[in-house]
Amino acid sequence: MTKYRKKPVVIEAIQFTGNNIVEIIKFMQERANGDKSRYLRYNAKKGEYFIPTLEGEYKLTEGDYVICGIKGEFYPCKPDIFEMTYEKADSEKSKECIQYIAKITGVDEETVIKVLQAEDTFIVRLLSLQVGDSCKG
C-alpha cells in the first residue's frame, strides 16, 4: 500500500462556541462570494444549524470548526481531528521573523516565505534520503 502525506496548505477556520453564530454566519458569507447556496442553514423545527458541503449538509455542533477549504468550500471538523491536523499559520512570532528577514535582506515578505517553504521542502527531502539510505543497511 502506498502512503500519502497531506500537503501543507493554509485554510481559514472558526470554532463554533455555541455563542458565536453571528461570527460563523459572517465568516461564511464573506467567503461565499454571494453564493447563498453556501450559507449556513438553520432548521427551526430542530433548532439546529447545517453546513452545506460538497457531500451534502452536515450538522454544526458546539465545538466544531467551520473550515473554508482551498477551493472556497465549507465543511465542519470535530475539534480533536482539527487539533491533530492543523496548527496556526500566522503566529505573531512568525510574522515578526519574516518581516525581519525581509528588512535585512531587502526582499519582499512574499519572497521570504517562498524561500523558507522551498528550504523546508529541501530539508524534508534530504532527511528522507538519509533515512532511506540508513535503512538500506
**Is the overall model pTM greater than 0.75, yes or no?**
no
Of 133, 110, 58, the C-alpha closest to 67 is 58
Task: Report the pLDDT averaged over residues 20-45.
Answer: 92
User: What Rg do the C-alpha atoms of the chain give, in angstroms?
Assistant: 20
* Residue found under cell 466544531: 64
Q: Give the pLDDT of residue 43.
A: 93
**46 DSSP 8-state letter:** T
Helix (H) or strand (E) holding 72: none
C-alpha cell at 84: 491533530
Strand order in the sheet with 41-43: 41-43, 48-53, 56-60
Task: Name the amino acid, one letter, at 112.
Answer: V
In a 3-state reduction of DSSP, which class is residue 18?
Answer: coil
Name the more confident of 120 and 8: 8
Residue 2: pLDDT band with limits 50, 70, 90 = very high
Work out the pLDDT band at 135, boundaries 50, 70, 90: very low
